[in-house]
Amino acid sequence: MLASPFKAGRELTLGIIGGGQLAKMLAQAAYRLGLRVAIIEHGADSPAGRMTQLEFPDGWTSPEALNAFVDASDIITLENEFVAPELLQAIAQRRPVYPTPETIARVRDKLVQKQTMAAAGIPVPAFAGVATPEEVLSFARTRGFPLVLKSRTFGYDGYGNATLDTAEELPRAWEMLWQRVQHEGILVEEFVLLQKELAVIVARSRRGELAVYPCVETVQQDHVCRVVYAPAPLPEPLRRQAQELAVACVEAIDGVGVFAVELFLSQDGTILFNEIAPRPHNSGHYTIEACYTSQFENAIRAVCGLPLGSPEMFVPAAVMVNLLGVRSGSGIPDAVTEALRVGKAWIHLYGKRESRPRRKMGHVTAVGATLEEAYRLAQQAADGIMW
């Protein structure tokens, strides 16, 4: 148990901005370490909010709720990167915030992300910030089609992305994205011909200590992660190269906490930076059951100034399968009994009140002697759960 630096005789309280499934799993890890948890979210009964008496459901746009949340917290971290850096700067005047507002400012905007990584010498796909369809066409004249449009902020799980195969598709895609982002702007990138999509979770402490998790393969469908294979089925030198690149990305933004670095392995064997998330990530959920220290525990250790735990896997293989909503309605699944019969598989239900198509409602992780065995078990369990 850690003592509060602000409240004599009380244990340390970790404040988390956001109350979704990532905050829930952070809270579960925090309780194991003897910490208290405060949650601020826009709405009551969030997955993480229902786990604590220190729930502030009026959200961080309410000055009163934010003030009470900050007062209740000793150290503050984030579930997502969508909080305005100016707001984080104001919070940081009163409490330590990790990742820092400066780090969040470097990653919140995908254009700034790319510019930061390129300036650090990290290989990135060709990109540009654009404000008109004509600027997209100018980019296409140099790079050709297909290409990818992305909202610079507030994009996740494919929301805010559009792949264009021809110029004729541009007007509709532009209208859709511009309505979403407007003054926030749009990023255009060359389309990378892929072998695989990869990810590496990196924990970095306030002292600069590093814990680098195995390189994993992520399988995307409609811009949403469906499956994660740990470790990635690649030669070890390539996996090490991905890990080294991920560390360079985290150091380029002076990150403290846990970061997910998403990478492209192109058809010519080049590893390119895609995106970085300044928080625990879907691609690291397997670490709960497969690694000595989960991404969530190391996130807490990192921001609290504690020694980092080992990121090594203690099983040969692990596979995570996301549980996605298929209908709109109740967040309570129809049945889980058959899924619970599957050995060497762990079911995580996030407790969201409402299901929607493609919404992440939970995940299953399975372990095995091989990736094939782990995938078979994970998919068998996932097939037994539906929303």
Q: State residue 156's pLDDT score.
A: 67
Q: Residue with structure tokens 């404000």?
A: 131
Residue 77's identity, in one-letter code, is T
Q: State residue 43's pLDDT score.
A: 94
Closest of 112, 72, 109, 110 to residue 91, by C-alpha: 72
**How many whole angstroms separate alpha carbon 385 and alpha carbon 282?**
19
Cα maximum dimension of the chain = 66
In DSSP terms, which residues pair with 199 in a beta bridge?
Answer: 216, 262
Give every CB contact of residue 240 below 8 A, 6+ residues apart in sequence: 215
To the nearest 5 percent, what fractions of the chain are helix, strand and coil? 35, 30, 35
Residue 193 CB neighbours (<10 A):
10
**How many whole angstroms separate alpha carbon 87 and alpha carbon 94?**
12
Low-confidence ranges of the chain (pLDDT < 50): none
Cβ neighbourhood burial of 126 (10 Å; 0-12, 13-18, 19+): middle
Q: State residue 183's pLDDT score.
A: 64
Residue 196 CB neighbours (<10 A):
19
Residue 280's identity, in one-letter code, is P
Encode pLDDT of 84-138 as tens digits.
889 999 999 999 999 999 999 999 999 999 999 999 999 999 999 999 999 999 9
Q: State residue 1's pLDDT score.
A: 64
Q: State residue 157's pLDDT score.
A: 62
**How many whole angstroms separate alpha carbon 302 and alpha carbon 297?**
9
Residue 212's identity, in one-letter code, is V
Q: State residue 190's pLDDT score.
A: 96
**How many whole angstroms separate alpha carbon 290 and alpha carbon 368?**
10
Q: Which helix (H) or strand (E) holds 116?
A: helix 110-119
Contact call for residues 218 and 228 (beta carbons, < 8 A)? yes
Encode pLDDT of 285-313 as tens digits.
999 999 999 999 999 999 999 999 999 99
Give every CB contact of residue 15 below 8 A, 6+ residues apart in sequence: 37, 38, 39, 40, 69, 70, 72, 73, 74, 75, 76, 77, 95
Q: Which domains does the chain have, with CATH numbers?
A: 13-97 (3.40.50.20), 126-190 (3.30.1490.20), 194-382 (3.30.470.20)
pTM over 0.75: yes
Encode pLDDT of 52-66 as tens digits.
999 999 999 999 999
